[in-house]
Structure 1
């Protein structure tokens, strides 16, 4: 793994988060939920692309992680710190989605359904880029 790969990961994940955050505010991409999820903040609540539960606060979190990734991608240290933080935070969010009392983040952000496996996947990939040994990309010559 090279520093450039870690920076590229932060850039790509940042772009994806920004796009997903914006998409969550576009009604055409959000399907209204069939049942009440018990959210205190239910404005904009629905399933993004018909799969992932979101609300306006969830969308803002995606945008924040996106902007953070874009800024972090400018340097190796920032990108690595971003990847490590995403790995830990998204693993915690995935586990919270498995616990009934925490699956709505105290009524603020939905973390259940397809969000659980997606958050675990994001955490796993981020862990690879954040915690794997990084080389300078050069090879030793005999």
Structure 2
């Protein structure tokens, strides 16, 4: 009888909060990286380092700048590093969730054309930041309450 060698699932034995944090980290890395890809980012020639003058739009909808993309990339890298432990995963979800909620409020409060719009955030970005922030914060807080120790 031949013995089958199935690949081990890297998520086996990992606490759910670690898998969730890793998933969000990968999503943020994708968002940040895709913001630098012409075609996926429309009006790529109008991509600016920072500020409201950046006319580039990820998926034709979300205004991006180099700094905006770098924020997503840095948070994604931090998320992967922190997801190596349960406590780190929770800290990432809660901390990054709070950051995205602040970005949501800032995106709603700043005039899109004003120099204070350093990240180049439009209304679609603001609502995406709300969705990301709320989901991450709630999942991080629920994991903290459940006390998942694996």
Tell me the TM-score normalised to structure 1 length.
Answer: 0.80
Structure 1, residues 33-58: CA drift from partner, whole Å, max 9, x if none? 9xxxxx64746x41100111101111
Matches of residues 102-121 of structure 1 in structure 2 within 5 Å? 106-121=116-131
Find out whether 1:32 has 2:67 as its counterpart: no
Structure exhibiting the larger radius of gyration computed from Cα positions: 2
- Rounded Cα–Cα distance in structure 2 between residues aligned with 1:101 and 1:59: 20
Residue segments in structure 1 that go unaligned for 5+ positions in a row: 34-38
Number of residues of Structure 1 aligned to a counterpart in Structure 2: 131
Indicate the RMSD between aligned Cα atoms, in angstroms.
2.7
Find out whether 1:13 has 2:24 as its counterpart: yes
Residue 131 of structure 1 is aligned with which of 133, 141, 146? 141
Instruction: Report the equivalent of 2:90.
Output: 80
Find out whether 1:97 has 2:107 as its counterpart: yes
* Alignment CA distance shift 1:70-1:137 (3 Å): closer
- Rounded Cα–Cα distance in structure 1 between residues aligned with 2:106 and 2:72: 17
- Rounded Cα–Cα distance in structure 2 between residues aligned with 1:91 and 1:122: 8
